[in-house]
Amino acid sequence: MARLAPGTSLGPYQIVAQLGAGGMGEVYRAHDTRLGRDVALKVLPEAVAADPGRLARFEREARTVAVLNHPHIVTIHSIEEAGAVRFLTMELVEGDTLDRLLTPAGLPVPQALEWALAILDALTAAHERGIVHRDLKPGNVMITRDGRVKVLDFGLARLDEGAGGDSDPSMVTQALTVQSPVSAEGMVLGTAPYMAPEQIRGEKADARADLFALGIVLYEMLTGRRPFAGRTLADLSSAILRDTPASARSLRSEIPLPLDRIVGRCLEKDRERRYATARDVRAELDAIRRELESGVQSGAGGVAGAAAVAPSLAVLPFANMSADPENEFFSDGLTEELLNVLARNPGLRVVGRTSSFAFKGRQEDLREIGQKLGVSTLLEGSVRKAGNRVRITVQLVKVSDGFHLWSETFDRVLDDIFAVQDEIAKCVSLAMNVTLLGTPAAAPAPRNAGTYELLLHAGHLAQQQTDATLARAVDLYLEAIARVPDDARAWAGIAYAYVTQYYKGAHDGDPDAKYRQAREAIDRAVALDPNLPEAWETLAMVLGPIEFHWAESRDAIRKACALAPGSGRLMMTLATFTGALGDVAEAVSLSERAVALDLLSATTVLNRARILYWARRYEESEAAYVRALELSPGISAGWAQLAMAYALMGRLPEALAAAAKEATPGYRLWAQGTVHQLLGDRAASDAALAALIAEGEHWAFQVLCVHAIRGEMDEAFRWLDKAREVHDAGLALVLVNPALDGMRADPRWLPFAKRLGLVA
């Protein structure tokens, strides 16, 4: 079949451009005119479509990969035909293949580990379903524009033993012969350099062949070269079968010895001497990654220089040494300011505020704190403020031995607070061998010592989120704006306070007043400083739940994450919005990263539990809910959401007991109304539902969930509309909440989802 030209139509798909070609078909970018989205089409050549054996393999590819629902595996949408053309429709993955990102010197060790772990996650998911890739190579690994890893082209995959037939030697011949030309140096390119010895011999290949290929890929990522070379296919095959490659560490001394050993074991020619499973390899690589991040040495030949390779830091709450305890907000605020500045550096992992502040006022050994937070260094200090003078004492401590890497005392007037803050951040980055990266602003942000103190106080009050503290925070923000009208941080802060008041239902007869005030303030903040993460975060809170522009909302939070890559809070918000738009697998992956940045935040762990619940991974969500409740036994909605996880696992007595422990009445009644219905106690469910409705219309989403579980679809849709009218934040969950599964087949569902902006 001739190459498809742009504009060609295959059924509802219009060809945009060719993306590539291989032995199992040509790949095109195409536009799905029905759904208004771009997809990838893998078209089977006519010669292959006419071959029953090769056609069967093509269809097998669709079946095997379609069962895999994983954030690091390309998604197969469908297998279709238009006339005589057979093709797959797949997720369109935009970015660069790994082979284009490799450098002659190798990748940074942490980067190589991160990508290898993602590949192993994909292989684990496939292998545990009996699927072997058989063609793993850098050209089949895509790094998306936002840094995600996607394993492509399971074109040579075959169900493993017990799930399918024997290996087909003709497939080996195909893999060896469908190659790019020999390079000018005579090096063989393409699939053959990544084949395991058993594949070259035409023997039956299982999951361990993928681990051999993974060893080659990891070796190449670390050293910039392949372990086996040859000027011809025969030379290359001989090298793979017989030669022992140079160790990766001999080519690059900074590679940790344990990592070098893992690569060597993956490259064992006898598959019985390799790792048994991808999960085993991942566990060992993950242990090395954790050592690199914590700076912990693993003995002779361990992770040498780890703190310099992947530094990590927790900023502990500075002690308030002032005579006035009311100055606590100043010491806490200065701590958070430093944390936010340092968290903007992608080369430094900074533990989130909630986890760091969990140790506020606790007299614990610094090394124990560091180990609990999983960091290599701690920044601690104290603040003494008297009138317009401030004394700040800081120490940077190495967790492994308690050694002080740097310490300093600053005696300044308050007008110099910005210079002190900048100097501390620079000294920390210098001591940790990290380049302090700024975020370029459109214009220098106004700096005023008086407004600095006002903003710290206002932020301290806003975080408490009571009606009184929010009102007081608004007054302080207004005072700061009156002093410096062009201070973007003041506008972003007051926007957050207004949005929070809106969500809490605060108004004086005009329900939308707080929203309008928030919108005006956030627009002003973004215009004044488009590189302020907090501004984009609050914009996302407005665009999605209030204005129903969910895609734009996710873009806003992505912008915030790009500006502050070390923020676990922002990462979790991105995970939530990503899940709301239906990409639950990616939301799970993002939530895992968020928890790693803020281990002791009950809210972060609870949100990960929710996302696992959306993914129908109920046992994992149970464990996360339990952990969140351990961190904060009274956290709002924690017991109710655990009850729902128990209920959908069929553990109804446990669900009822958990629901009874929920302190927030609305959440408790939601869970009880659901669980009683599933237990068959209609009267108790009726009573709980009536009480929930009496709590007010801001519980509309929970009411509709109970009606949906009860099968009362007319009432469920009526309350769904009510939730839309009152801009209930729960509407973000309509695509993913399992309680609404029964509604999604109703013809009223899709038009409503479109009205909410969750479906194009």
Q: Show which residues are catalytic.
A: 135
Percentages helix, strand, coil for the chain, rounded to the nearest 5? 55, 10, 35
Tokens for 22? 């291989």
Amino acid at 217: V
Tokens for 344? 């903007």
Which residues, in sequence order, are CB contacts of 1 under 8 Å at separation 6+?
43, 45, 46, 85
What is the DSSP secondary structure assignment for residue 107, as one 8-state letter? -
Which residues, in sequence order, are CB contacts of 147 under 8 Å at separation 6+?
none
Amino acid at 192: A
Q: Smallest Cα–Cα separation from 10: which of 78, 82, 79, 80?
A: 82
What is the DSSP secondary structure assignment for residue 651, as one 8-state letter? -
Which residues, in sequence order, are CB contacts of 629 under 8 Å at separation 6+?
602, 635, 638, 639, 642
As a whole number of Å, the CA-based R_g of the chain is 28
d(CA 650, CA 47): 52
Q: Which residues pair with 366 in a beta bridge?
A: none
d(CA 738, CA 644): 10
d(CA 233, CA 313): 49
Q: Smallest Cα–Cα separation from 106: which of 244, 255, 236, 245?
A: 255
Q: Would you say 556 and 526 are in contact if contact means Cβ atoms under 8 Å apart?
A: no
Length of the chain: 760
DSSP helix/strand/coil, 228: coil
Q: Would you say 491 and 522 are in contact if contact means Cβ atoms under 8 Å apart?
A: yes
Question: 499-502: which pairs have CB atoms within 8 A and are 24 or more residues apart?
Answer: 499/538, 499/541, 499/542, 499/546, 500/462, 500/465, 500/470, 501/467, 501/470, 501/471, 501/474, 502/546
Q: Would you say 560 and 529 are in contact if contact means Cβ atoms under 8 Å apart?
A: no
Longest dimension (CA), the chain: 86
Q: List, in sequence order, every beta strand (DSSP E) within 399-520.
A: 404-413
d(CA 193, CA 236): 7
